[in-house]
Amino acid sequence: MYLNKVQIIGNITKEIELKALPSGIKVANFSVATNRSWKDKDGNKQESVEFHNVVAFGKQAELIQQYLGKGSQIYVEGRLQTRSWEKDEVKQYRTEIMVENFQFGNKTGNETKPMTNDEADKKLEEMSGDINPEDVPF
């Protein structure tokens, strides 16, 4: 048995980049920061931040780009995928979370058009169609 499942809750770190594949399917690329805090052996508070590359397709990409922005909180559920390419004869790698499901997080001052979870759920139910891997340009 195999499992490739990721769940994160964090804040979007920059404006969401929305592009279209040749087939017309929208692709949103963005980064989400998650924080972790703990006390070390001396009792001092320590913190660390992880940055996650996230990719959404179709209606999900459009909704995320339309209703969220830098600083917005988001719950993302998906799978890890690593892609590779060559640049200047050096192999480059990038691991991304491919969005399968998401939810809007707590409202922040940076959100331009907030949507309730019920509205978001309704919009997500309206989505249909799968992404054809042949349409992905990378």
Domain boundaries, the chain: 6-105
Question: Can you read off the two tokens belonging to residue 1?
Answer: 């048995």
pLDDT in tens, 34-46: 999 989 999 999 9
> Coil, strand, or helix at residue 79?
strand
Give the CATH class of 6-105.
mainly beta
Taking all residues of the chain, what is their mean pLDDT, rounded to a whole number?
85
- Measured CA distances, 43 to 32, 35, 40, 46, 49 (Å): 29, 19, 5, 9, 19
Could you tell me the pTM of the whole model? Answer: 0.72
- Measured CA distances, 31 to 53, 62, 85, 114, 138 (Å): 5, 16, 20, 20, 18
CB atoms within 10 A of CB 103: 14
**What's the pLDDT band for 128 if we cut at 50, 70, 90?**
very low
pLDDT in tens, 70-92: 999 999 999 999 999 998 999 99
